[in-house]
Amino acid sequence: MVSERGLRVLRAIVQDYVDTNEPVGSKAIVDRHQFGVSAATIRNDMALLEDEELIAAPHTSSGRVPTDKGYRVFVDHLAELRPLSGGQRAAISTFLTEAVDLDDLLTRTVRALTQLTGQVAIVQYPSVARASVSHVEFVHLGGTRVVVIVVTDTGRVSQRVAFLQGELDAEEVAQVKASIAALVTGKPVADAAQAIADLTASAPAHTRVDEAVRTVARIVAEELDDFRQDKLVMAGSATLAKREGDFRGSIYPLLEAIEEQVTLLRLMGEMVADEQGLAASIGRENAPFGLVEASVVTSDYDGAGTRSRVGLLGPTRMDYPTNLAAVRAVAHYLSRLLDEDDTSR
């Protein structure tokens, strides 16, 4: 059982090690922090922390550094997060407010986060599990060329150029638009996909309009299937190379996870958030995902009635109070903007 002063010593070691990237000794703690006790007393506290495997000596006769377990205890006992400055909050709000659509908003989100923290920033697209098709547009470009646009109420948008088998006149174009709208608009994504599957499994088309409806419907189905795939937006991968010294082994597993996304989606999906929607997965806690030298911190955000996550990926030697505050602040703005967009529709 770690005493209250022991937790304060652990907090000092974590903070100093994150700041300096150097092992922390008892004299440094006495000099930098107001404990009101001798270096010998601090050494006794450090010995107890070492017995609990919360700190370790990287070299003989050196200072101590936090272990993964030590970082976990530190995060679990954070008294408060390090708040962002008023200027940082204003910059985030302005930058995100200028987004023109969901894709732009999420891209801006990760750019803002990586600039704030120097870590790899990650954001999940809002889940379409409860999303509905809010609008389908069919634009005739002349001849057999058309543009099919699909929009969900979570803000997901796709635009695809396609070619019909035959050219349509204006009346036939209107008929195709009406048929597609009646087929999927207002339906949950899964129901819309099923309606299209039922249509394409029915008797073959006999008219140019019927054939065009089937062609457009197949395109809509493909776009809806893409929507149903979980998706991440990321920024800041280059920061890993700059901090390669923070990793004892190779950074390749992290780069691979960023490239494939599936690993990060699974990890973020299994992280358990606290009552504030914040979560952290540290070092060896990530062993099942092959990311034992990395930490991930996340915050939940709400979009169109669904809950997703925004987070940061980096080495275990990260500034947890600042990073958790950053993801919480960005998640707050993201939720607010998506809620405003939802209520305006």
Categorize the per-residue pLDDT at 344 as very low, low, confident or very high, splitting at 50, 70 and 90.
Answer: low
CB-side neighbour CA atoms (13 Å) of 294: 29
Amino acid type, 308: S
Average pLDDT for residues 59-84, to the nearest whole number? 88
d(CA 330, CA 341): 16
Q: What is the pLDDT of residue 323?
A: 96
With bands split at pLDDT 50, 70 and 90, how would you rate the model's confidence at 241?
A: confident
- Residue 235 — pLDDT band, cuts 50, 70, 90? very high
Percentage of residues in the chain with pLDDT exceeding 90?
A: 54
> SS3 for 145?
strand
Each residue's pLDDT tens digit, 99-139? 988 889 999 999 999 999 999 999 998 876 668 899 998 88
Q: Can you tell me the mean pLDDT for 330-342? A: 85
| pLDDT of 213 higher than 80 | yes
| Cα–Cα separations (whole angstroms), residue 312 to 116, 223, 299, 319, 324 | 11, 29, 9, 11, 9
Residue 141 main-chain phi, psi, to 5 deg = -95, 5
Structure tokens at 170: 């204006």
Question: What secondary structure letter does DSSP report for 79?
Answer: S
Question: Residue 111 has what pLDDT?
Answer: 95
Q: How far apart are CA 204 and CA 202, in angstroms?
A: 6
Tell me the C-alpha to C-alpha distance, in Å, between residue 118 and each of 114, 298, 314: 5, 15, 9
User: What is the average per-residue pLDDT within 142-160?
Assistant: 86
State the Cα–Cα distance between residues 324 and 8, nearest whole angstrom: 20
Q: Name the packing angle between helices 189-201 and 170-184 (round to 10°).
A: 120
Please give the pLDDT value at position 342: 59
Q: Rounded to two decimals, what is the model's pTM?
A: 0.79
Q: Indicate the length of the chain as a whole number.
A: 345
Which range has the worst mean pLDDT, 183-187, 306-310, 314-318, 329-333? 306-310
Residue 233 three-state SS? strand
Amino acid at 198: D
Extract the tokens encoding 161.
């150029």
**Residue closest to 311 by CA, chosen among 270, 280, 276:** 280
Q: What is the pLDDT of residue 341?
A: 64
| pLDDT of 166 higher than 90 | no
Domains of the chain: 4-76 (1.10.10.10), 86-127+230-344 (3.30.450.40), 133-227 (3.30.390)
User: Position of tokens 């996909």?
Assistant: 193
Distance CA 122, CA 224 (A): 23
Q: Degrees (nearest 5) of the Cα angle 246, 323, 76?
A: 90
Q: Give residue-wise pLDDT tens across range 257-275.
A: 888 888 999 999 899 999 8
In sequence order, the 6+-apart residues with CB closer than 8 A to the CB of 5 are: 35, 37, 45
If you average pLDDT over every residue of the chain, what do you get? 89
* pLDDT computed for residue 304 by the predictor: 59
Instruction: Quote the Cα angle for 122-123-125, to 5°.
Output: 145
pLDDT digits (tens, 9 = 90+) for 26-35: 999 999 998 8
- Name the residue with higher pLDDT: 107 or 157: 107
Query: Does pLDDT of 305 surpass 70?
Result: no
